Amino acid sequence: MTEKNKIPQNDGKDFIILSMDASHICAVTAIEKVCFSTPWSRKSLEEQLLNPLSHFLVAVDEEVKGYIGVQEIAGEGYITNIAVLPGYRRKGIAQALLSKAMTAARERECSFITLEVRVSNTAAIALYTKNGFNIVGERRDFYTKPVENAYIMTRYF
Ligand code: COA
């Protein structure tokens, strides 16, 4: 890990938040497969490294335990992915990732940040609600495997 990519983590947690780089792709691909029924491919994740609109962060101790992806277009932030390895949940990793991503999006002058979430995903909905996101809409049959509606949740800055 280079000093350039290191984002200080000042809350006493035993992991650090870094910008995703090529060395993290294998681990993030594996976490996608564990956490989602339609995971992003390794190629899609690699493409994010070349996309100036994409900002992916990883939570790392000795290896990657979680990550978040944000794409920003014309002052609008969109959370594309957030996941934490099952054995490392409820330790504040997603909260740390989301906090860093929101701060960074604000600093890049986004006026809001938004996302879709399965209506049954109570853990993620609680995370977003805790961070000031509100349900602003619902997309019918947005997800597959299984088919399910999505809530659109948005946090205005
Ligand atoms: N039940 C209820 N609330 C939960 C929760 C659960 N199982 N997990 C997280 N939360 C909420 C709580 O408000 C929590 O704050 P608290 O600990 O003060 O109660 C807050 O989220 C932060 O929790 P944190 O420990 O940082 O979350 P995490 O590291 O366990 O990660 C997810 C949360 C959602 C990212 C994780 O469960 C995950 O990877 N799920 C699978 C992938 C996924 O569904 N991603 C979201 C796609 S939209």
Q: Characterize 102-130 residue by residue with b for buried, 16 or more Cβ atoms within 10 angstroms of its Cβ, and e for exposed.
A: bebbeeeebebbbbbbebeeeebbebbee
Q: What is the DSSP letter of 128?
A: H
Q: Whole-model pTM?
A: 0.94
* Catalytic-residue membership of 88: no
Q: Is the CB of 130 under 6 A from ligand 1?
A: yes
Q: Characterize 144-157 residue by residue with b for buried, 16 or more Cβ atoms within 10 angstroms of its Cβ, and e for exposed.
A: eeeeeebbbbbbee
Closest-CA residue, ligand 1 atom 2, reads 123
Pocket residue to mutate for ligand 1, from 34, 35, 95, most atoms within 8 A of Cβ: 95
pLDDT score, position 14: 82
Q: Which amino acid is at 94?
A: A
Closest-CA residue, ligand 1 atom 10, reads 123
149, 142 Cβ separation under 8 angstroms: yes
* C-alpha to C-alpha distance for 18 and 2, rounded to whole angstroms: 9
* C-alpha to C-alpha distance for 17 and 60, rounded to whole angstroms: 6
What digits encode the pLDDT tens for the residues 132-157?
Answer: 999 999 999 999 999 999 999 999 99
Cis peptide before 146 (omega within 30 of 0): yes
pLDDT confidence of 10, banded at 50, 70, 90?
very low
The neighbouring-strand residues paired with 153 are 115, 135
Neighbours of 64 (CB within 10 A): 21
Mean predicted lDDT score pLDDT of the chain: 93
What digits encode the pLDDT tens for the residues 55-87?
Answer: 999 999 989 999 999 999 999 999 999 999 999
The CA-CA-CA angle for residues 99, 105, 24, to 5°, reads: 70
